[in-house]
Structure 1
Amino acid sequence: MWRHIASNAVTFLVVGLFLLGGVVLWGKSEYVSEGPLEQAICVQVQRGSNMRQVSQELEAQGAVTSPAIFRMGADYEDKSSRLKAGSFLVQPGTSMQGIVDVVTQGGASTCGTEVVYRVGVNRVSVQVRELDPVTNRFVERAEFTPGAEEAPEAYEELSTKADTRFRVALAEGVTSWQVVEALKQVDQLTGSVDEIPAEGSLAPDSYEVRPGDDRDALIARMEAAQEVLLAAAFEARDPDLPISTPEELLILASIIEKETGVAAEREQVASVFVNRLNQGMRLQTDPTVIYGVTEGKGVLGRGLRRSELRAETPWNTYVIDGLPPTPIANPGRASLMAAAQPAETDFVFFVADGTGGHAFAETLDEHNANVAKWRKIEAERGAEAAGNASTGGN
């Protein structure tokens, strides 16, 4: 009798273990298989949330089939304690395992509301926008100029949300003075900046910030990023460049940055300046003259006067030989690399061509012909503008 009972118990145990193994395999399959989500969603994880709350929210949005399996999978992979606060984009069909990775790995929001403080060469603006998870495109909610316009309701409303992401975006070619003045307008930051950073020392990029971050600390991040970019460019420089120090490379890159906004011609612009340096010619570039007038404090807002082109400032490359003593702006990665690896050309002249780019020339005669073409374009545009003004633009 006891032998019969023991035999049955063993049988039940084997069957139970078999069923349990099947359940485990099924659960694992559910955890790693394609999820039920048909459209992308933005999952918001509040500070202090746990996996139970997140799994319930995911179930409500149709992203997981079983909150329990979601939590058990996160526990098994030892990721439950790594949950990050923020807003995270979950793509259609993402598995539960994939969603766990999304909400535990990066820590940087990938969707939801963001406020971007854009520091441009000609303007500082604040843009409030939201990512539409379905189209994966940002929808602008508001834009304004801080200090000149009153903040709109959308900014007042969304900038106080716990999951709103804040970024400070520096455009290529801004000056250090412009950056500092702009950071004063970022009301999410704290602290003051006692000194203007060295010109050229800040990397144009997008920097995520949090309310309460210190302005000096943010500038230190920008400086550290530029040091890395400059070191990499200097290391990769062509061996026969007339450039002997990283500072000289930074100065040349800043001039390239201010001379052209056309990415495809940066290396050609760089070649002109390198060829001039090699031939002992003066650089004769207007942006350096402008910097001598403004010293980076704002935009000149008008054409250069003949007296300014002749003025003896440390940056006037119509007067001085070689490079100016400092950069004239903060160059980006592309201009640094263009300065380090210019195109191989015989160009020593260039002038605007009317398309936003430049016409390049090897000889003075070719250059004078290009200048004549540009003057004709200028005259035609001036006449057209005058005609529009006289007719009210009709």
Structure 2
Amino acid sequence: MRRFFLKLFLLAAVLVLGAGAAGLWWVNQPLKLPAPAVDLSVEPGTTPRGIAQAISDAGVGAPAPLLYGWFRFSGQARQIRAGSYELERGVTPRLLLNMLVRGEEATRSVVLVEGWNFRQVRAALAKADQLKPETVGRTDEEVMALLGKPGLHPEGRFFPDTYTYSKGSTDVALLQRAMRAMDKRLDAAWAARASSLPLKTPDEALILASIVEKETGKANDRAEIAAVFVNRLRAGMPLQTDPSVIYGLGTRFDGNLHKKDLQTDTPWNTYLRGGLPPTPISMPGKAALLAAVQPAQSSSLYFVSRGDGSSQFSNSLDEHNRAVNRYQRGGDPSQRSGQ
């Protein structure tokens, strides 16, 4: 009898060891997927058993009880995080659990470029992969209301950067992040502003920074360009900046700035109206924000493009006219900036 029980014990031990070995083999084998990539959504509050079932329901070649058993055996079943995941071919049960425990969600990214206007921002978000389009079909005013800023003009209110997001995120959520980022950058720039700056509010700094962003061809000129506009504001001179005129024309701008465009009155025509335009004209980056509040120490009142992206600065109109003759021989009106 004792020998019988010994044999029975040995058999049980072999079975247990065999099952353990099979389990160790299984957790390191690639799972069968119905496609090169499978989307998996784990909703907050889902139980480990429910997560295992969701994985099986997504077409992954593993029975839900087996997955659930693996989660329990690992001791990490309660550490699985909610989120949107993407399972790719080659993923094993071990790698899958690590992904879920670490919260390694499937992410995408969209780039908001310095100098873009809000129309360009909305176009980029509409094309962004796996980003839910909650703003599509809404006016700019309606979008700002969704963002909790009713009545605020959207231009320049979003910080240009690369934004990553989980699959299934909304464009509203991304815009909220970009808006908070701009608020933070603007507050920091305003706190670091130079003394005697002829700007009364952070919004005025944002407007000036948006112009500097559009006018700068080379980074080394940015602070000097800001100085030209600051000096003009101090002197009561019109800013006469082409990008603001172009912004005011909107979709009427045909790619070339004509004399009639300079004579077309809009709130953003800085040839016909004094002071800053009523709103920003683009999204300024960090460098443009800092240049607007910390302009170069300069007496320049004019600048003209040299044709290579850099600018030639002048203190007087005569000096500026000579620079125009030198660098713009041929009369290209698109390089009239800073006259």
Task: Give per-residue Cα distances to partners, 1:154-185, cap 9 Å, x unaligned.
Answer: xxxxxxxxx5x411111101011211122112
Where structure 2 has 5 or more consecutive residues not aligned to the other structure, the ranges are 1-38, 42-74, 88-98, 145-153, 333-339
AA in 2 matched with 1:276: R
2:133 matched residue in structure 1: 191
Q: Is the 8 A contact 2:244 2:270 kept in 1?
A: yes
CA distance in structure 1 between the partners assigned to 2:317 and 2:102 by the alignment: 55
Q: Provide the secondary structure at the position in 2 that maps to 1:177.
A: helix
Q: Is the 8 A contact 2:248 2:266 kept in 1?
A: yes
AA in 1 matched with 2:118: S
AA in 2 matched with 1:260: T
Q: Which has the higher strand share?
A: 1
| 1:108–1:377 CA distance, 2 compared to 1 (3 A) | farther
Tell whether 2:259 aligns with 1:306: yes
Tell whether 2:224 aligns with 1:268: yes
Higher relative contact order (CA 8 A, sep 6+): 2
2:269 matched residue in structure 1: 316
Q: Is the 8 A contact 2:108 2:129 kept in 1?
A: no
Tell whether 2:284 aligns with 1:331: yes
Q: Provide the secondary structure at the position in 2 that maps to 1:334.
A: helix
AA in 2 matched with 1:313: T
* Superposition TM-score, scaled by structure 2 size: 0.63
2:168 matched residue in structure 1: 212
CA distance in structure 1 between the partners assigned to 2:112 and 2:315 by the alignment: 35
2:317 matched residue in structure 1: 364
AA in 2 matched with 1:226: M
Task: Give per-residue Cα distances to partners, 1:262-298, cap 9 Å, x unaligned.
Answer: 111110000000000001110001001101101xx59
1:250 matched residue in structure 2: 206
| 1:301–1:374 CA distance, 2 compared to 1 (3 A) | farther
Q: How does 1:59-74 map to 2 (within 5 A)?
A: none
* Superposition TM-score, scaled by structure 1 size: 0.54
AA in 2 matched with 1:331: P
AA in 2 matched with 1:173: G
| 1:319–1:231 CA distance, 2 compared to 1 (3 A) | same
Q: Is the 8 A contact 2:116 2:282 kept in 1?
A: yes
Task: Give per-residue Cα distances to partners, 1:195-247, cap 9 Å, x unaligned.
Answer: 42511101000000121111111111111110001111111111210001011
Tell whether 2:236 aligns with 1:280: yes
From 109, 112, 123, give the equivalent of 1:167.
Answer: 109
The Cα shift of 1:375 comes to 2.2
Q: Provide the secondary structure at the position in 2 that maps to 1:208.
A: strand
AA in 1 matched with 2:108: F
Q: Is the 8 A contact 2:80 2:102 kept in 1?
A: no
Task: Give per-residue Cα distances to partners, 1:332-357, cap 9 Å, x unaligned.
Answer: 11100000100000000001101111
Q: Is the 8 A contact 1:86 1:107 kept in 2?
A: no
Where structure 1 has 5 or more consecutive residues not aligned to the other structure, the ranges are 1-45, 49-74, 88-102, 110-162, 380-394
Q: How does 1:124-135 map to 2 (within 5 A)?
A: none
| 1:369–1:104 CA distance, 2 compared to 1 (3 A) | farther
CA distance in structure 1 between the partners assigned to 2:100 and 2:114 by the alignment: 33
CA distance in structure 1 between the partners assigned to 2:301 and 2:102 by the alignment: 48
| 1:206–1:374 CA distance, 2 compared to 1 (3 A) | same
| 1:334–1:82 CA distance, 2 compared to 1 (3 A) | farther
2:66 matched residue in structure 1: none
| 1:308–1:378 CA distance, 2 compared to 1 (3 A) | closer
Matched pairs, number:
237
Q: Provide the secondary structure at the position in 2 that maps to 1:209.
A: strand
| 1:175–1:345 CA distance, 2 compared to 1 (3 A) | same
Q: How does 1:19-168 map to 2 (within 5 A)?
A: 165-168=107-110
Task: Give per-residue Cα distances to partners, 1:129-174, cap 9 Å, x unaligned.
Answer: xxxxxxxxxxxxxxxxxxxxxxxxxxxxxxxxxx5x4111111010
The Cα shift of 1:258 comes to 0.7
| 1:349–1:106 CA distance, 2 compared to 1 (3 A) | farther
Tell whether 2:298 aligns with 1:345: yes
| 1:104–1:235 CA distance, 2 compared to 1 (3 A) | farther
Once superposed, which parts of structure 1, at least 4 consecutive aligned residues long, lie more than 3 Å away? 80-87, 103-109
CA distance in structure 1 between the partners assigned to 2:101 and 2:309 by the alignment: 43
| 1:261–1:82 CA distance, 2 compared to 1 (3 A) | farther
Q: Is the 8 A contact 1:354 1:377 kept in 2?
A: no
CA distance in structure 2 between the partners assigned to 1:368 and 1:293 by the alignment: 27
The Cα shift of 1:302 comes to 2.0
Structure 1 stretch displaced more, 193-202 or 303-312: 193-202
Q: Provide the secondary structure at the position in 2 that maps to 1:376.
A: coil
